[in-house]
Amino acid sequence: MNVEPLEIHPSIPAPSANRDKWTVEAIKKLFEKPFIDLLFEAQKTHREHFKPNAIQLSTLVSIKTGGCPEDCGYCPQSVRFNTGVIDDDLMKLEEVVQAASTAKANGASRFCMGAAWRGPKDKDVVKVAEMVTAVKSLGLETCATLGLLKEGQAEVLKNAGLDYYNHNIDTSSGHYEEIISTRTQDDRHDTLQRVRDAGVSVCCGGIIGMGESRDDRADMIVQLANMDPYPQSVPINNLVKVQGTPMADVDGIDPIEFVRTIAAARISMPKAMVRLSAGRTDMSDEMQALCFYAGANSVFYGEKLLTTPNATAYGDDELFARLGLVPGDDVAL
């Protein structure tokens, strides 16, 4: 089936809808490659589509924190877990604009607004749409992550100027029910289809280190790579363990295996922005450098990711300087 490419930021090439499908076995073979060979292939793929030393900076702000009725086992914003997160009201428009202005002044080219809802009410979408329009007027790319969308809501956000909608599949189809019971992975795919149908670019990835196997990681990558088209932005999160959540004491993932996951994402989705997301505070500079070599070319920038710590702007600036990475929004060839 031929699919028209989505209208996305002009510097980001649209993924091709006409391509062979990936299989779990094919992705597993990538994971099984000698590490140096895998990184070499990922770096070659990266250089075919992106400037090798360019990196996009994004800022994520929680516009509505806490009180979520879902039971996602990793999330401190769930009302089901005692994590100390307070249920706050939706931020005021002027507060969001101020946060976006600060983010731009600090070098961010993309601003993402996150709300702890199962899904927004129509009245909430109208308010967020006003925020999107205001942030867009500052010259920033806009992204929102608001939970499950109903019919027509993605169109409202699109008309307001939304560039990306983030909605992760989180993990493999088999491991998903071990993490979440209040909504299915199919529910997530339904929202992603509504986003695509509205002409909004998709930001979709997952979380690594939730007790999943390598087969699970391969399944997650296959789900992403076989979307039609695959996501324009693919955030790969390293689980941030928060006391009070069911995932607080899960065994962490081997850093080399995490880098392998980044490389598999880059090879299977060559034109996507691969975003190194949550968990960077627990990564050494050397681990992050390997992730960038494996094809990650975007990070969240600032001191906080919704309710969990993020690498500080100062620390990022220092690391980028050491690695010779140049921040900007013009990252594609």
Which residues are the active-site residues? 68, 72, 75, 112, 143, 203, 275
Within 13 A of 100's CA, how many CA atoms are on the CB side? 28
> In sequence order, what E strands does 71-219 have?
110-115, 141-145, 164-166, 201-203, 206-208
DSSP structure string for 299-329:
EE-SSEETTEE---HHHHHHHHHHHT-EE-S
| SS3 call for 237 | strand
**Pairing of β 233-238 and β 273-276:** parallel
The Cα 307–Cα 190 span in angstroms is: 27
The Cα 152–Cα 143 span in angstroms is: 17
- The encoded tokens of residue 247 equal 């995932």
